[in-house]
């Protein structure tokens, strides 16, 4: 691993009081505090209506010097990640889901690859999706088939794992071209659909960036922020939008 790789870790947060009380931020803080590759940790609050922000401010910011809190209005997960990339101070920006379904120790695999010259490295869950309900496994495979037919993403299997790292400068260039995921308005309820990951990686390939998919440990964690059937319908609509913008040359 190249010693000059410096990373901003982005943690999207929307009404995560329960996860925070389970100690996920303690795990994140302890791991990054002793790992000099991580220069900062941005907890991007997506307009939480519970006590998430208060707990972060009162308990975590004073005790973990690498932590910073970014307070957004409710834009959805895509908006939180985009905000984190925009505010990142380091050369590379990495995001992880707050539930730590993929342990942070797995970040070493991704960081090793950007150190070898890749622009984007994405975590990939194993095909068995340990712990996930059967219907989710079936729908996930169906999603891959539909995605590949409509927009391709050649060579990438798992676009949706919440564990990715980007070269910040190139990520910002991609963000400027986003259309489906370029949200500038407040959303209602939880919003974790697949549009951002799909459109971001689709554009990255069109722009010729070097992408690597790396297998990581992953354990299914149930979350109130995911409505699988609703999100699947929204994802299909977003794939059609990406296809439309591509064939009408709106991404140029």
Answer yes or no: is 1 within a domain. no
Q: How far apart are CA 81 and CA 160, in angstroms?
A: 13
Answer yes or no: is 185 within a domain. yes
Q: What is the CATH number of the domain that holds 144?
A: 3.90.550.10
Determine the length of the chain. Answer: 252
Answer yes or no: is 2 within a domain. no
Over residues 158-169, the pLDDT tens digits come to: 888 999 999 999
DSSP state of 182: -
Domain count, the chain: 1
pLDDT band for 136, please (50, 70, 90 cuts): low
Answer yes or no: is 64 within a domain. yes
Q: Which residue has the higher pLDDT, 150 or 187?
A: 150
Answer yes or no: is 78 within a domain. yes
pLDDT band for 150, please (50, 70, 90 cuts): confident
**Mean pLDDT (whole number) for 94-120:** 96
Structural domain boundaries enclosing 156: 7-247
Q: What is the pLDDT of residue 1?
A: 45
Q: Are 16 and 47 in contact (CB under 8 A)?
A: no
**Best CA proximity match to 239, nearest among 146, 175, 124, 138:** 146
Over residues 71-86, the pLDDT tens digits come to: 999 999 999 999 999 9
Answer yes or no: is 169 within a domain. yes
State pTM to two decimals.
0.88
pLDDT band for 52, please (50, 70, 90 cuts): very high
């Amino acid at each position: 691993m190249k010693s000059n790789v410096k990373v901003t870790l982005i943690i999207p947060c929307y009404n995560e009081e329960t996860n925070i009380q389970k100690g996920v931020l303690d795990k994140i803080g302890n791991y990054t505090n002793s790992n000099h590759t991580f220069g900062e940790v941005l907890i991007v609050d997506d307009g939480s209506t519970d006590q998430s922000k208060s707990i972060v401010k009162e308990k975590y910011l004073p005790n973990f010097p690498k932590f910073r809190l970014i307070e957004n209005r409710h834009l959805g997960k895509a908006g939180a990640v985009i905000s984190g990339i925009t505010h990142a101070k380091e050369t590379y920006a990495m995001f992880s889901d707050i539930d730590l379904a993929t342990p942070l120790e797995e970040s070493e695999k991704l960081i090793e690859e950007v150190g070898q010259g890749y622009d984007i490295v994405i975590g990939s869950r194993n095909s068995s999706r340990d712990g996930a309900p059967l219907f989710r496994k079936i729908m996930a495979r169906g999603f891959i088939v539909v995605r590949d037919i409509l927009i391709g993403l050649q060579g990438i299997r798992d676009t949706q794992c919440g564990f990715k790292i980007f070269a910040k400068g190139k990520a910002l260039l991609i963000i400027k071209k986003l259309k489906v995921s370029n949200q500038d308005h407040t959303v209602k309820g939880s919003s974790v659909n697949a549009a951002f990951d799909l459109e971001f990686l689709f554009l990255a390939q069109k722009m010729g960036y070097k992408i690597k998919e790396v297998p990581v440990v992953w354990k299914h964690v149930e979350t109130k922020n995911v409505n699988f059937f609703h999100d699947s319908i929204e994802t299909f609509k977003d794939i059609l939008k990406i296809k439309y913008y591509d064939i009408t040359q709106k991404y140029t």
